[in-house]
Structures are given as C-alpha cells and as structure tokens.
Amino acid sequence: MIITDDDSEYIAFVQARLRDQFFMTDLGPLRYFLGIEVSSTSDGFYISQEKYIQDLLARAALGDERTIETPMELNVKLQPTDGDPLSDPTRYRHLVGSLVYLAVTRPDISYPVHILSQFVSAPTTVHYSHLLRVLRYLRGTITRRLFFPRSSSLQLQCYSDATWASDPSDRRSLAAYCVFLGGSLIAWKTKKQTAVSRSSVEAELRAMALLTAEVTWLRWLLADFGVSITTPTLVLSDSIGAISVARDPVKHELTKHIGVDAFYTRAQV
C-alpha cells in the first residue's frame, strides 16, 4: 500500500489508524513497488523498472550479448502467416505479457508491444524474432527512466498521431497519443482503430477523437484533485486535413463518411 499526501501529520494519523486494525509494517519512503523503482531527488522523481528488465532478460535467456538501437524495424508489416508456427507458444506469451507490464514506465516500447501482442494466440518464428529484438533493445536502454519534476506547470499538452491502413491483414489504422502535465509524461497509448478509415485524414481524426476523450477525463480528474485548469488544453497533430476538419465540420462532402468523430472533437473544443 502506498500512502501519499502533502501533510506528513495526516499520513502519520492514517498509519496509526491502520495499525489499530491490521498488522502493518512501515517501510519508509517509497523506493520499490510491484516491480517499479522510484528514486527521489531535489529536482523531482524518477520512475523505472530496471530490476524488472534484468529479471525479464534472465528469464528470456538470450544466447548473445547484442544490443539494438531501435525496438522494431522501420515500416515492418507483420502478418499472422509470417514464418512457421511455434511448437510451444507459452514462452512467447509469457514474454509479451511481461512487456505489457513493462510499458507502464517505458512508452518507447508501446508500439512494438501492441503489434506483438496481436499474435499471442498463434505466434510464429518471425514474430518471436521481433520479440527478441525488443528484448535486445531493452538490454541496451535498461537505465532509461521517466522523470517527474517537482516544479512544473499544471497545464496539459497533448500529441496525437495515426498510421493509415497500416495493418496488412485488415487495413485498420493505428491511433496513438501522449499527454504531458507540464513537463511530465502522464498518459500514452497505441491502439488499433475499430473501423477501417477510408483516408489518412479520417485515421488522424479518429486518433484526435480518442485523445480528446482522454483529455476530457484528465481535466475532470485534475479538477477532483483541486487543480484548476482555466486555459484550453493544447492538442497537437501533424495532419493539416484533420485539423481543418476539426475546426470546420461544415465540410460535409469531406466528412460525411467519418461519422461522429469530427463533431465530437469539435464539440469538446
């Protein structure tokens, strides 16, 4: 259990009440919790899973000491029929499941883990080779950490992106976003879209709508924490077409096939 507050006396009060009801040991300041390491400095907090990665590499038992600079090759298109089926997919499933939890502090592997997790039901030798690439990448970047500065703006800033028709098996697009609170990365996701987009603008707009829903929830959450956000949240996208449609949904001929995402994004604006 983690107890946190800006009032040390109230923390002591809560601990005393818990001791009255349960057997409890105070382990002191937060250092390690469920595989997540936390280190505190005068500038802020660092969160990592270095020991978790070491244990994962030990379980993987890689036969070499190679490292790779990127977790996945550029523009790779994996399909269910690539390679020969693994005789025992248990190892593949175990490693991918571990990577899913590791992505809690490693947003840089969010995309390849999303791709590899699609094949856990019937992995092949090709899928397994790409999985080993991710592990070798982690070996070379094991010390990377997320930093949360003590002094930071409490304003949200967000980025959205999409890959159009990137899945060769069903031609659905991937949506991705990340959200910063000041200088702290607090939310990110890579997710396959539920419908096939007929244009890159549509794919980008669906990603923007996914991010808009996340931002709406985060603003409510911050309000519950007593953080007053009076300025608009900046949502950044590299798609001029999606930005244009989000600003002006009157372009009916361009947006009638998209559905409600354009109007949902515009309504939140």
CB–CB of 230/267 below 8 Å? no
Which pLDDT tens digit goes with each residue over 53-65? 999 999 998 878 8
Mean pLDDT computed over 35-42: 89
What is the identity of the amino acid at 28?
G
The pLDDT of residue 252 is above 60: no
Nearest to 127, CA basis, from 103, 93, 101, 170: 93
Q: What is the model's pLDDT at position 258?
A: 67
Q: What is the model's pLDDT at position 199?
A: 84
Instruction: Scan for tokens 């571990």, then name that residue.
Output: 98
With 0.85 as the threshold, say if the pTM is over it. no
Size (the chain), residues: 269
Intra-chain end-to-end CA distance of the chain, in Å: 39
Nearest to 77, CA basis, from 163, 201, 160, 194: 163
Give the separation between CA 268 and CA 12, rounded to whole angstroms.
Answer: 42
Which pLDDT tens digit goes with each residue over 68-104? 999 999 888 888 899 999 999 999 999 999 999 999 9
Give the separation between CA 104 and CA 217, rounded to whole angstroms.
Answer: 19
